[in-house]
């Protein structure tokens, strides 16, 4: 990544000889790579929108407020970003398979309530955590089955389960928060490894595992094939239905893990709507350069996207900008990223 703006003249000066040889020999030979990338500078920017945006934001906020880049603030940004990062990984899996999970945030809320109920009934920490994950995983599994076997559009299924999960959360909790006090959870959210808080460590481990699953296993390749071309995947004998079910279940499990992290952070189990988490998870995936039509992208991009959105909120708060402006800023950033993504190769 260079600080040269994409309208810089040098590539133009370099290209003429390359262009002529290119045209006369073979028009689509791979030797044209370097020439292509210099021409497609805007494509390069689009591909790396998240990381470039993140660096720009960090520079701007550091210039405006020296507190921003202190160790304490960076630590708190990483911890604050961790829940969104976990949800974003799940969302990325779903979007890579050419779907969308609108229910992630409500699924997480249902997980939170399942935890709260188990905990208030005297179940131990481990059982409560398990019930959060199981409840969320169930919603994910049902989403997947409805999409794959019921052949209903992803958008509609998860729009429905968004409502169902948040409704269930309200019914089960009777709309009241349950306070959750556990030394283990307090330690989890206040301590860490070296300079990294435990929530961030968990998010980072999940991201690494997700990367390995996507790029180093057959499942990952089949996921990309399903998202890229369902017909081609099926023609080679890949069960796209199984991939879809797996992907939504993964998203559900991750929502359950996010639920535990949310309880550790808030210290209570409340049936809140958490809509911002939904919007930000989709936004982070888009920022991360994952194609909304599936089959193209990675995990690193969305993770950086989640970090970028958290940095944006954190920086605005540090600068005493009213909270009301935060959704506005997030919206503008996402739309800019989507515009830029049109130039992806």
Partner 1 sequence: MTTTSTRPIVDVRDVCLSFGNVKALQNVSLTLAPGEITAIVGDNGAGKSTLVRCISGIHRAQSGTIEFDGEKTHFRSPEDAREKGIETVHQNLALVDDLTVWQNLFLNRELTRGIGPIRFLDRKAMREEADRMVSTLAVNVPAVKSKVRRLSGGQRQAVSICRAAGFSSKLVIMDEPTAALGVQETAKVEQLILKLRDDGHSVLLISHNFSQVMRLSDQVWVMRAGRCVAGRRTTDTTGDEIVALITGSREQ
DSSP letter for each residue of 49-108: HHHHHHHHHHHHHHHH-TTTTSHHHHHHHHHHHHHHHHHHHHHHHHHHTT---TTHHHHH
CA distance 76 to 233: 43
CA distance 339 to 48: 13
229 binds partner 1 (CB under 8 A): yes
25: which residues sit within 8 A by CB, 6+ positions away? none
Q: Which is nearer to partner 1, 155 or 215 (by Cβ)?
A: 215
Maximum separation of any 2 CA atoms in the chain, in Å = 77
228 binds partner 1 (CB under 8 A): yes
In the complex, the smallest distance separating the C-beta of residue 238 from partner 1, rounded to whole angstroms, is: 5
Please identify which residue in 295, 301, 302, 315 interacts with partner 1, judged by CB under 8 A: 295
Locate 177 and state its tokens.
Answer: 């928060």
342 binds partner 1 (CB under 8 A): no
In the complex, the smallest distance separating the C-beta of residue 101 from partner 1, rounded to whole angstroms, is: 21
Per rule CB under 8 A, count of chain residues that contact partner 1 = 24
296 binds partner 1 (CB under 8 A): yes
Q: Which is nearer to partner 1, 53 or 99 (by Cβ)?
A: 99
Please identify which residue in 2, 3, 236, 323 interacts with partner 1, judged by CB under 8 A: 236
Alpha helices in 217-239 (DSSP H): 218-228, 230-235
237 binds partner 1 (CB under 8 A): yes
Q: Which is nearer to partner 1, 220 or 267 (by Cβ)?
A: 220
Nearest to 85 by CA among 261, 323, 224: 261
Please identify which residue in 63, 171, 232, 339 interacts with partner 1, judged by CB under 8 A: 232
225 binds partner 1 (CB under 8 A): yes
Q: Which is nearer to partner 1, 87 or 238 (by Cβ)?
A: 238
Q: Which is nearer to partner 1, 233 or 299 (by Cβ)?
A: 233
In the complex, the smallest distance separating the C-beta of residue 290 from partner 1, rounded to whole angstroms, is: 11
Applying CB under 8 A, the span of 69-77, 177-185, 226-234, 328-336 interacting with partner 1 comes to 226-234
21 binds partner 1 (CB under 8 A): no
* Site pattern 193..212 for partner 1 (x: CB under 8 A): -------------------x
CA distance 336 to 162: 27
CA distance 157 to 159: 5
187 binds partner 1 (CB under 8 A): no
In the complex, the smallest distance separating the C-beta of residue 233 from partner 1, rounded to whole angstroms, is: 7
Applying CB under 8 A, the span of 66-74, 106-114, 131-139, 236-244 interacting with partner 1 comes to 236-244
Q: Quick one: 170 exposed, middle or buried, by C-beta within 10 A (0-12, 13-18, 19+)?
A: middle
Nearest to 337 by CA among 46, 40, 6, 7: 46
151 binds partner 1 (CB under 8 A): no
10 binds partner 1 (CB under 8 A): no
Q: Which is nearer to partner 1, 275 or 344 (by Cβ)?
A: 344
231 binds partner 1 (CB under 8 A): yes
Kindly list the distances between the CA atom of residue 185 and the CA atoms of 121, 158, 204, in Å, as whole numbers in the listed order: 17, 30, 18
**For strand 192-193 and strand 178-179, is the pairing parallel, antiparallel, or unpaired?**
unpaired
Mutual orientation of helices 198-216 and 218-228 as an angle, nearest 10°? Answer: 80
CA distance 210 to 67: 33
Residues that bind partner 1 (CB under 8 A): 28, 30, 212, 215-218, 220-222, 224-225, 228-229, 231-233, 235-238, 291, 295-296
């Amino acid at each position: 990544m260079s600080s040269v703006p994409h309208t810089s003249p040098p590539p133009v000066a370099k290209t003429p000889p390359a262009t002529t040889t290119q045209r006369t020999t073979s028009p689509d030979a791979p030797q044209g790579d370097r020439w292509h990338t210099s021409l497609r500078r805007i494509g390069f920017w689009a591909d790396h929108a998240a990381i470039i945006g993140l660096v720009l934001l960090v520079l701007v906020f550091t210039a405006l407020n020296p507190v921003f880049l202190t160790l304490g603030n960076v630590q708190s940004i990483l911890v604050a970003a961790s829940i969104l990062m976990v949800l974003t990984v799940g969302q990325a899996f779903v979007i890579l398979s050419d779907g969308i999970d609108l229910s992630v945030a409500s699924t997480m809320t249902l997980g939170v309530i399942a935890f709260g109920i188990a905990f208030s009934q005297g179940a131990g920490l481990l059982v409560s955590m398990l019930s959060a994950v199981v409840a969320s995983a169930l919603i994910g599994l049902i989403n997947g089955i409805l999409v794959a076997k019921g052949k209903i559009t992803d958008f509609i299924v998860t729009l429905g389960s968004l409502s169902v999960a948040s409704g269930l959360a309200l019914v089960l909790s009777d709309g009241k928060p349950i306070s959750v006090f556990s030394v283990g959870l307090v330690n989890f959210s206040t301590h860490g490894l070296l300079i990294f808080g435990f929530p961030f460590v968990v998010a980072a481990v999940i991201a690494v595992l997700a990367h390995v699953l996507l790029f180093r296993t057959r499942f990952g390749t089949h996921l990309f094939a399903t998202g890229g071309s369902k017909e081609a995947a099926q023609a080679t004998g890949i069960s796209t239905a199984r991939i879809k079910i797996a992907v939504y279940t993964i998203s559900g499990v991750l929502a359950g893990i996010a639920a535990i992290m949310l309880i550790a952070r808030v210290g209570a189990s409340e049936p809140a709507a958490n809509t911002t988490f939904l919007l930000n998870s989709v936004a982070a995936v888009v920022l991360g350069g994952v194609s909304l039509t599936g089959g193209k992208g990675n995990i690193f991009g969305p993770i950086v996207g989640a970090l970028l959105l958290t940095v944006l909120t954190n920086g605005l708060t540090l600068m005493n900008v009213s909270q009301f402006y935060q959704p506005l800023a997030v919206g503008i950033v996402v739309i800019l990223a989507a515009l830029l993504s049109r130039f992806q190769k």
